[in-house]
Amino acid sequence: MSGLLVVRPGPLTTVQDLGRRGVAHLGVPRGGALDGPALRAANRLVGNPPGAAALETTMGGVALEALAPVLVAVTGAPAPVLVGGRPAAWGGPVAVPAGAVVEVGPATHGVRSYLAVAGGLAVPEAFGSRSADLLSGLGPAPLTAGQVLPVGPAVGPHPGVDVVPLPAPPAELVLRLRPGPRADWFTGAALAGLPRARYRVAAASNRIALRTEGPALARARDGELPSEGMVLGAVQVPPDGLPVIFLADHPTTGGYPVIGVVPAADLAAAAQSRPGTPLRFSLLRGHPGP
């Protein structure tokens, strides 16, 4: 049997791929890996397509027993990797014999590590994705001890990639911000002062949103909006005035004003920012960005 037996699930380990596209009109968030480049890199190291389903750990790692020989790779947040109790490579392909346990330890930097296995995790799909969505409840639940994760057949020979470069988790998180669509709900001073404001990543952050601690943004008008569509990277400002950056499992609608949108390319760094990480915004004006 080709599969992985969960020995230690870690505090929050989920199956993730690149998410669900084209179903937001049904109220289904995109979901998927919060650090897409790290997921793609792990899959490349084991010869998978970029969006094959893998594991996303959160701070505490995971331990899995191989029920048949497998090839794995761990990327994302740096963490110690053991196979059969012996140190193994992080950021490179690792062969795991049948019966051996591969362990990903607590992240030494960053938040989320990714463990890919050749063939991908063959859990059932929902709306075209195998991702676990913690807001909607779609996809597989977070891992539990004793669970067996099925592994699909390898799609081809190992590509011979030894390492894939990835940026280090940020010491300071800088998020570009395209103002709008509701920037006019805030005072001119609040918007003009946003690049100088200093925030921190709040401990309440999760897969739904990165929450902030710092100076409140002053509104120019009272009241609330009717619910309107929300996009990945939308920076919504609730009544406490503290910006909330929507991540992969964000709701598809919301009633608080959106002061701006962070480009998707900046969100992988947000996914790897620990609570307390300094955060600031850089306003984009008249520049399309990636």
For the stretch 109-125, pLDDT in tens is 999 999 999 999 999 99
Number of alpha helices (DSSP H) and beta strands (DSSP E) in the chain:
3, 20
**104 with 96: CB under 8 angstroms?**
no
Residues 232-286 pLDDT 10s: 999 999 999 999 999 999 999 999 999 999 999 999 999 999 999 999 999 997 6
173-283 CATH choice from 3.40.50.300, 3.90.1150.10, 2.40.100.10, 1.10.357.10: 2.40.100.10
Predicted structure pTM score: 0.94
Residues 103, 63: Cα–Cα separation, whole Å: 4
Residues 233, 243: Cα–Cα separation, whole Å: 11
SS3 16: strand
State the span(s) of the chain assigned CATH 2.40.100.10.
Answer: 173-283
Q: What are the b/e assignments for 246-280, b being 16+ CB within 10 Å?
A: bbbbbbbebebbbbbbbbeebbbbbbbbbeebebb
Which tokens is 247 given? 């991540």
SS3 249: coil
